[in-house]
Structure 1
Amino acid sequence: MMKRRNFLKWSSMMGALASLPGVPLAAGTITTPPPPAGDRAYWVSLMYRMASPILKNMSKGELKKNFPVEYSPSWDNRDNNVAYLEALGRLTAGITPWLALPDDATKEGAMRKELREQLLQSLRHSVDPASPDYLLWRTGGQPLVDAAFLVHGFLRAPQAIWEPLDSQTKERFVTELKSMRRMKTFSNNWVLFVAMVETFLYSIGEDHLMDRIDDAIAKTDSWYKGDGMYGDGPAFHYDYYNGYVIQPMYLDVLKVLAAKDTAKQQQYAIALKRMQRYGAILERQISPEGTYPIVGRSSTYRAGAFQPLAQLALNRELPAEITPAQVRCALTAVMKRQFEFKGTFSREGFLSLGVVGHQPEVADSYSNSGSMYLASLALLPLGLPATDPFWSAPYADWSMKRAWSGGDIVRDHAIRE
């Protein structure tokens, strides 16, 4: 009897621990996989949790008033106002595929419609000089970065986000984007920010500087190191900038050009193959517990590191050895480890500095609360309808979860392209 009571006692304690954010189960503990519909509901709730405090305030012209921005303890003293464009630009890049889905009568549909309307109004405020939330477009270099993220969002969902804007707002955006030409070329990932801005102008029929786009393409291709990895400039950096910036922006610049220029189609095909390899590597970085190696700068962008994997899933271009379900389940595990950990969101509901919870000391000198919204890029597959196999397929273990439980795992290999 005593043994049975002890067993029940410890079983109930394990169940309690499992329910606490950030507390892993003991090795070998069996858990019941969640139903697929539960994963999508969780992702939707997470996107809403991220986006609502930003868009609800900015749609009323009150973001600067109500967003208590936290800056890195080693802040480099650039203009503090960069934070607001960072938040809007990065969030736009992540949320627009979901906002582009058609309206419906579901709870998710109501949330999506609300945020879409708020984003459109926020975009109007962002370029209106008379608005309290007119953003920092023309001071320093940082605005180029987040203008590029913002137009990446436009490119991902032009019919839902760009086309509904009134003509005056569009004209204002074009003016602000062209002001980025005050900056010259770069020898690192920033060349892609230049290219994204000019590529967007090209996509809407505005005058553009093709030489700046070609410069970025040539440099990025020359920095390829092999096996799906690019350098950030001539040197290789062991960090997640292939995920945060390089691969998604490089591929999407080529994608826009390839639609009208057949000469770019082969470059696009090669870049896609490389990103598929990098996506496979990223998937293998996710441990059985839903953790991954924290290495390199900008680690506070959290799950945004997995943007290439998320983008491949969104575009139904995952490598053959990876199923959509295992990506869904792996990313869900990562998100729950990070975003359910105490301190990840501030008391006011904004993302905080940190990788797991609130860890300001790990933030780089250029990081602030607005920077953290790059994490929304992990949620790109929300742009797939709920009926897509990504969402509807049954639970599936990801590579490392299978491997470390003694299951079958696909042999890994490098690519030569």
Structure 2
Amino acid sequence: MRDRPSAGLDLPPEDRAGAPVTGWTRRHWIAVADHLLASLRPYRSPFGARISPPGRGSWSGGDTDGLEGFARTAVLAAVRLAAGDEPARGSLGELADQVTTGLLAGTDPGGPERWPAVTDYSQQIVEAASLAVALHESRPWIWERLTPGQREQVAGWLGGTVGRGVRENNHVLFQAVVGEFLASVGAGHDRGEIEDRLDRIEPWYSGDGWYLDGPETRHDYRSGGPREFAVGPEAAYDAGRRFDHYNAWGFHLYPLLWARIAGERAGARAVLYRERLHRFLAQYRWLFGPDGAVLHQGRSLSYRFACLAPFWLGALDGATPLTPGQTRRLASGVLRHFTERGAPDPRGLLPLGWYGEQSAAAQVYSSPGSPYAAAMGFLGLLLPAGHPVWTAPEEPLARERADLTAALPVPGFLVHRTAADGLVRVLNHGSCYLTAPPAVERDEPHYARLAYSTRTGPVIGPEAPRIDNHLALLLPDGTATRRERIHPLAVTDRYAASWHRPLPPGGPVPGAAPPPVVSVSVPAGPWEIRVHGLRRPPGWGLREGGYALAAEAAPETVLRERPGAAVRTAPGANGPGLVSAVLGLHGWTAAEVHRRERANAFGHRCAVPLLVLPPAPAQVCDESSGQIEVVVGAVLLTGAPGAPPAPEVTVRVAGTEVRLAWPDGRELLVRPVLPWQAPVDRGPAT
């Protein structure tokens, strides 16, 4: 692992007395913020209304991309202004002047750097919300220093969001935030629209602090260029159950930012949002490793440490189950983790990617300015230097030094953490993102996999196969089926289960549509036991992938008997070495390793261990045949030193009943078929 942050980032000395876990203090946070802001100066337009770091552009076009870069870094500037403490270079006054100059240039309707007007469903609505947050949090520095005419000009551009059509997802919150800011400064707004946008997220609230990112049945999608949308009943499509980090940097962030702007007017809504945030943080905290690594699942992952926003809001609003010392320990751990792994990069920039640059991991709506949504991860600087979050000694998180399995039934996650290596794995039996029409193959690698972790990412790219952490039926030509809509069956601390209908590329094959696959995941030490019940059409094969390991150097391959396969990475820039392995326990007959290059956010070369079965013999295979095939395998991801031991689980299969037995006497009886019956769990916990 790197022992120092990115080049050019000057940090103060560590404080191991007050921060015994990370060594980082409020001064470290200010130093990182100053470094990010200073590094963007070469990419400002002449009048400052656009900030355009190098990189692949988005589908919205260069003008909107430049606005995005400005608006998101304006949030970081606003938080930095509120924090006080003069920077080592320049001054807070100069920073405020830069933001003000760019703001006025962008909102000048006749100026050479005017921002694109707000239109229905546009990215400008998103960036208007960032500007509203920035202006609210820096009122003494920017808004209150504008002349009446300048205020009218800025409000005029922001007011373009009022009455506009907005996407059926987290975007509804952006209109509420902008509208509330306009109301707070006496500008034109629509109170009914603000309330409506806040009301629209209520059906998406699913319990335990978790929101769906929009309804499961959506009625809007981009049908052509940046301004072409299909909207209405005829545009209905299944969008899936989208649970991801947007709960952190969207659904808990913007309602509480709205409440900060609304003040007393927020009333009962603010109370409700704080209660939900408290419940969310009680579960969300499990998705972070003790080393500061963050679960790599979902979209917009280039936002990186924006995932810290709800923890800071919990401290700001007294809505967190964490102590002040735990909040700082978690947040500083995450920021330090990224700075030691290439974010920011040697230029001081946050590129599209995870640690370094990996644009293939970013969605087409992301621009080089998109990663600066990470500014929301600095909201802790709104807390004064004397706040307990900054003064109380760091504390380990609850159960940080122990093995953990934790059920998150609403998103369908089973968290599986091992103390020996600090790895957090999330077994996914509920969250799925189905891409919008006109796409035919609608699975997304950051949602469709059986498992994710804090140290690995899925195989990605336009030609990426469905291979890692995926059970695929293989057509006679070798192409793999997709896991699209995931139907949760159960999530407990002991196991998680779901079913899906495997879909071939291009849609169902006439006369050969496979029946549903039932999958059950059972943690067993550092291993996960996977049980699948399925029916294969004649001539179709089967393949199960483990975790994809990626590094700059090619992972080493280790083949096993029984069958099995393992790959290993050496210790490197991203941390200690890892081992990913698969082991056939029943039904599997062979193993192999798949390799790819430039197809993973964690490194240029990746490898995936696989279990395989040859094509099924010719046989009748339909919904009523009753011929269910059961396969059982073990999947390992570990960073613990030494050779990984085999799982201490005995497997016996009789028909469709699978009996898993542990040395301590515990047994689990599983039937991976529909209709679903809950497994019988006997004996002590492991």
TM-score range, shorter chain: 0.7 to 0.9
Between the aligned partners of 1:384 and 1:60, the Cα distance in structure 2 is: 34
Where do 5+ consecutive residues of structure 2 fail to align?
7-13, 217-240, 404-418, 421-491, 493-686
Which residue, out of 105, 115, 123, partners 1:142? 123
Q: Which residue of 1 aligns with 2:40?
A: 54
SS of the residue corresponding to residue 158 of structure 1 reads coil
Residue 173 of structure 1: how far off its partner (Å): 1.1
Between the aligned partners of 1:78 and 1:373, the Cα distance in structure 2 is: 17
Between the aligned partners of 2:64 and 2:339, the Cα distance in structure 1 is: 24
Deviations 1:185-208 (A, max 9, x none): 442211111111211111111221
The alpha-carbon distance between structure 1 residues 120 and 325, as it changes in their structure 2 partners (threshold 3 A), is farther
Between the aligned partners of 1:62 and 1:214, the Cα distance in structure 2 is: 34
The alpha-carbon distance between structure 1 residues 293 and 122, as it changes in their structure 2 partners (threshold 3 A), is same
Quick check: 1:90 aligned with 2:59? no
Q: Which residue of 2 aligns with 1:322?
A: 322
Residue 323 of structure 1: how far off its partner (Å): 1.2
The alpha-carbon distance between structure 1 residues 59 and 318, as it changes in their structure 2 partners (threshold 3 A), is farther
Quick check: 1:40 aligned with 2:26? yes
Quick check: 1:70 aligned with 2:75? no
Q: Which residue of 1 aligns with 2:277?
A: 275
Quick check: 1:115 aligned with 2:115? no
Deviations 1:46-70 (A, max 9, x none): 1112222336764852575x84431
What residue identity is the alignment partner of 1:19? D
SS of the residue corresponding to residue 369 of structure 2 reads helix
Q: How does 1:181-260 map to 2 (within 5 A)?
A: 181=162, 183-235=164-216, 236-257=241-262, 259-260=264-265
Higher fraction of strand:
2
Between the aligned partners of 2:79 and 2:264, the Cα distance in structure 1 is: 19
The alpha-carbon distance between structure 1 residues 189 and 215, as it changes in their structure 2 partners (threshold 3 A), is same
Residue 365 of structure 1: how far off its partner (Å): 0.7
**Matched-pair identity in %:** 27
Residue 98 of structure 1: how far off its partner (Å): 3.4
SS of the residue corresponding to residue 163 of structure 1 reads helix
Between the aligned partners of 1:378 and 1:348, the Cα distance in structure 2 is: 20
Deviations 1:131-172 (A, max 9, x none): 554333446711111001110222333233321223332111
Q: Which residue of 2 aligns with 1:6?
A: none
Where do 5+ consecutive residues of structure 1 fail to align?
1-16, 23-30, 407-412
SS of the residue corresponding to residue 225 of structure 1 reads strand
Normalising by structure 2, we get a TM-score of 0.50
Q: Which residue of 2 aligns with 1:4?
A: none
Query: Do 1:34 and 1:395's aligned partners in 2 also have CA atoms closer than 8 Å?
Result: no
Between the aligned partners of 1:286 and 1:204, the Cα distance in structure 2 is: 39
Alignment length, in residue pairs? 371
Q: Which residue of 1 aligns with 2:307?
A: 305
Residue 387 of structure 1: how far off its partner (Å): 2.2
Deviations 1:294-329 (A, max 9, x none): 11111111011221112222x15242x311222112
Residue 359 of structure 1: how far off its partner (Å): 1.5
Residue 128 of structure 1: how far off its partner (Å): 2.9
SS of the residue corresponding to residue 159 of structure 1 reads coil
What residue identity is the alignment partner of 1:116? A
Task: Please report the RMSD computed on the Cα atoms of aligned residues, expressed in angstroms.
Answer: 3.0
Higher fraction of helix:
1
Q: Which residue of 1 aligns with 2:62?
A: 80
SS of the residue corresponding to residue 399 of structure 1 reads coil
Q: Which residue of 1 aligns with 2:138?
A: 157
Structure ranking higher on relative contact order (CA contacts 8 Å, 6+ apart):
1
The alpha-carbon distance between structure 1 residues 350 and 125, as it changes in their structure 2 partners (threshold 3 A), is farther
Between the aligned partners of 1:185 and 1:68, the Cα distance in structure 2 is: 27
Query: Do 1:100 and 1:159's aligned partners in 2 also have CA atoms closer than 8 Å?
Result: no
Query: Do 2:245 and 2:307's aligned partners in 1 also have CA atoms closer than 8 Å?
Result: yes
Between the aligned partners of 1:131 and 1:339, the Cα distance in structure 2 is: 38
Q: Which residue of 2 aligns with 1:284?
A: 286
Between the aligned partners of 2:140 and 2:49, the Cα distance in structure 1 is: 26
Normalising by structure 1, we get a TM-score of 0.79
SS of the residue corresponding to residue 62 of structure 2 reads coil
Query: Do 1:138 and 1:180's aligned partners in 2 also have CA atoms closer than 8 Å?
Result: yes
SS of the residue corresponding to residue 193 of structure 2 reads helix
Q: Which residue of 2 aligns with 1:296?
A: 298
What residue identity is the alignment partner of 1:120? T
Residue 90 of structure 1: how far off its partner (Å): 1.8
